[in-house]
Structure 1
Amino acid sequence: MADNIKMLPREKVFRDPIHNYIHVQHQVILDLINTKEFQRLRRIKQLGTASFTFQGAEHSRFTHCMGVYEITRQICDNFQRNYPSKTPGDGLWNDNERLVALCAALLHDVGHGAYSHTFEHIFNTDHEMWTQKIITSKETEINHVLRQVSEDFPEKVASVIAHTYPNPQVVQMISSQIDADRMDYLLRDAYFTGTKYGMFDLTRILRVMRPYKGGIAFDNDGMHAVEDYVLCRFQMYQQIYFHPVSRGMEVVLTKLLQRAKDLYEHNHMRDFEMPSLLVPFFEDKVTIDDYLLLDDGILNTYFTLWQSYPDEILKDLAYRFLSRKPFKSSEYDNKTKHFLPELAQIVENAGFDKKYYTATNSSFDLPYDVYNPNSNKSRTQIEIMQDDGSLIELSTVSRLVNALTGKILGDQRFYFPKSMLLEQTDDLFNNYYLEFQKHIHNDKIVL
């Protein structure tokens, strides 16, 4: 493979607010950046509906992927400089793995759909599966670029995304409890949301990373930097990613797409502007070309058209989404969840179809969870390397991390139209309002 790796005659750099410069030295990386599939990521927001809560969060999947590539490049440089392999099987860094790691880092999110996780939920898509398809399909420009390295190189890159690549160091760079993906999105999301929760010491983290035969570990004297990273990640999930207003907009988006899908399935979209780019998803017959045609802008265009649609529910939900009218919410628990059907029925009695105007949303079910090395779905543990070369799991030596380990944190919320909290001139509606308020107090459903 090494003979086919073409270097640029002069390093190319991209300016970046997080990493200052993103350095590109390989022709294949530059060619991948210039493919239509990768450029599409410019049109997909990194944080989806969170931009309705944090107005600065307009950054894209494109900029995030570039950042993940840059962090991975720095890890490879550090490993090659300080831990180069001297004999086969010594557990140190083999720099022949650099290009597959860089390509996987750059492309790890190329399969994200419009509005990312909300879209996945409605149409049963999986961005990691689509990432692998885009990389391995001979129909794509990305695949063509990768095959310039070798015929089997696309499959190697895809196997990193699938976590089946034989070198655990490469896999853990991209996907582990502390990886280039998470490190970039925490710093990037903190910067663009205007918050400080995600601002950990990246330079120190990269300095104390080291390869070993089982993957990647961290020097004992860097434990506090790693500890700080875990706490930053916890705070970002609680304060940013699980924000109830962002989730309220996500519920509106979910219900909007669900209503459109339901109308199509009942042949109620025939006399209106047909959302042709969504039809393959409505019919569950999606090709790679179909998938890649969708982005946030395409969906927003359909939503704009749907504001004139004769169906009142679709029209209203489209308006609510485009005009930032999130559903309100109240927190519930196991003691109060039995009130939910009653509250949903009150919402329906007040004139809203409960199928589209009520929902439950749990932050526990969002794509990533807080650090928990004992979870059934746990990623690779964070290992601290002692002075004698032995490894110890982070939470056993850090009281702070141990306090978070195994703790399920988050909330469960019941979402409904804001008007259910507002007194109005309509006496009949106010009867429902008063009935609804019996169980709502201080943002919680109460007994």
Structure 2
Amino acid sequence: MKRTLGQLHEEKVFKDPVHRYIHVRDELIWKLIGTREFQRLRRIRQLGTTYLTFHGAEHSRFSHSLGVYEITRRIVEVFKGRKHWNEEERMLALSAALLHDIGHGPFSHSFEKVFGLDHEYYTRAILLGNTEVNAILRLQSEDFPKKVAEVIEKTYHDKLVVSLISSQIDADRMDYLLRDAYFTGVSYGNFDLERILRVMRPMEDGAVIKASGMHAVEDYIMSRYQMYWQVYFHPVTRSAEVILSKILHRAKHLYEADYTFQQPLTHFHSLFKGEVTVEDYIRLDEGVMQYYFQVWLQEEDQILRDLCRRFLDRKLFKYCDLLPMSEVHTLARYFKEAGIDPRYYLVIDSSSDLPYDFYRPGEKEEKLPINLWKANGDISELSTESDVVEAISGKRRTDHKLYYPADVVDGLANQELKQKIKQLLHKG
């Protein structure tokens, strides 16, 4: 007979720089933290290549996941005994919060784009497959892994539970803004978490905020806006992302061209073949990736060798504002004449963010709004009450940059060609 997991005999705590303490009282949560798949998140940075811009940004998806769990735990405490909150969903909400990032790979977004992978697919595969996480979740009930997957995928029938980890004001966003601000050393991401938690209330379709807490939410929205443009989309970080992406593209190209690597590609065979099993995926982390970058410094291929050197030694590309495409094509031609492969050394990169959006029914990726609960019981969408939020609602900001190796351009022997290239780049 299956034993139902209950409370720990003694509460476990993690010291945390953002929340001071993270409290674990449930046996299920403690066992999930100890799984192989969750411990792997210690070896994946939360902010990818941002450590090359903000040297303190070495924190992991492990610490972020614990933080999301802790905020969700505190929200559930606020909701306890209130209308619309079903206490039987407590363990589901906590488990989904803890495991929401379980499927992320090393240097997540660059890694996914190059190899055509989707971390959401691997999240589901880890939750439902032959894994330690799945075995622990099934101790709760046989259908519990499926329920956790549905919450993370936003298909679970209880929209309130889903909203706690996936909405425009959820535990995920609140933790990463505070945590990323702390570790990057900036002040933009700080907001009054305590106040927001105190004024959050459960409703049938999701959490709402008491109208008296509107200014704390305004601060949160503006913090998110500033963090995206000052930290997440920092052009130096994007330069590192560009080089990382090009390393992986070059290695994949060489593999497909039957190039003989000096070191066996044990961890990369399935990636290059497009046959990545869950076990293959779990074995990948940023330590593995950086080991190969070190090894590839000795490869005969000059491009792969150079890109790895740039990434490891932080010899990043310079950037300018994107030129008209006709001029980019001209630059690419000049690069070829100079013996510089524009596929790897002349790169367009775009960043885009929508800081807050109101409900647009029927649109792809439609987002439920942040709703305010007034004293008379009425519900109002945030941007109709806040002039600050209304000013940025539905307005997407986009930035386009052109990245190139300034040191290579400066070292060109052909002075006429070098001058032509520099004249175009200085226009950007």
Aligned-pair Cα RMSD in Å: 1.5
**Is residue 354–residue 395 contact of structure 2 (8 Å, CA) maintained in 1?**
no
**Is residue 242–residue 410 contact of structure 1 (8 Å, CA) maintained in 2?**
no
Aligned to 2:56: 56
Task: Please list the CA deviations of residues 157-216 of structure 1 after superposition, one character each: whole Å capped at 9, or x if unmatched.
Answer: 000011011111110000000100000000000000000000000000111110111111
**Is residue 360–residue 415 contact of structure 1 (8 Å, CA) maintained in 2?**
yes
Aligned to 2:102: 110
- Cα gap change, 1:354 to 1:421, in 2 (>3 Å): closer
Matched, 1:207 2:205: no
Unaligned regions of 5+ residues in structure 1, if any?
86-91
Instruction: Choose the corresponding residue for 1:84, options 71, 82, 101.
Output: 82
Aligned to 1:303: 293
Aligned to 1:435: 420
Unaligned regions of 5+ residues in structure 2, if any?
none
Aligned to 2:160: 169
Deviates more, 1:24-33 or 1:321-330: 321-330
Residue 406 of structure 1 deviates from its aligned partner by 2.0
Matched, 1:317 2:302: no
Matched, 1:384 2:369: no
> Alignment partner of 1:345: what SS?
helix
Residue 396 of structure 1 deviates from its aligned partner by 1.2
Spell out the pairing of 1:131-150 with structure 2 (5 A cutoff).
Answer: 131-137=123-129, 139-150=130-141
How many angstroms apart in 2 are the aligned matches of 1:247 and 1:228? 26
> Alignment partner of 2:169: what SS?
coil
Residue 374 of structure 1 deviates from its aligned partner by 5.0
- The residue type paired with residue 72 of structure 1 is T
Matched, 1:6 2:14: no
- Cα gap change, 1:374 to 1:361, in 2 (>3 Å): farther
How many angstroms apart in 2 are the aligned matches of 1:369 and 1:261? 33
**Is residue 359–residue 367 contact of structure 2 (8 Å, CA) maintained in 1?**
no
Matched, 1:418 2:406: yes
Residue 111 of structure 1 deviates from its aligned partner by 0.3
**For this pair of structures, how many residues does the alignment match?**
424
How many angstroms apart in 2 are the aligned matches of 1:346 and 1:49? 30
How many angstroms apart in 2 are the aligned matches of 1:58 and 1:77? 31
Task: Please list the CA deviations of residues 68-106 of structure 1 after superposition, one character each: whole Å capped at 9, or x if unmatched.
Answer: 0000000000110xx524xxxxxx211111100000000
- The residue type paired with residue 144 of structure 1 is A
How many angstroms apart in 1 are the aligned matches of 2:175 and 2:245? 27
TM-score when scaled to structure 1? 0.92
Aligned to 1:154: 145
How many angstroms apart in 1 are the aligned matches of 2:192 and 2:78? 16
Displacement over 4 Å in runs of 4+ = none
Aligned to 1:127: 119
Residue 409 of structure 1 deviates from its aligned partner by 1.1
> Alignment partner of 2:25: what SS?
strand
- The residue type paired with residue 99 of structure 2 is L
Aligned to 1:197: 188
How many angstroms apart in 2 are the aligned matches of 1:352 and 1:374? 47
Aligned to 2:36: 36
Matched, 1:401 2:380: no
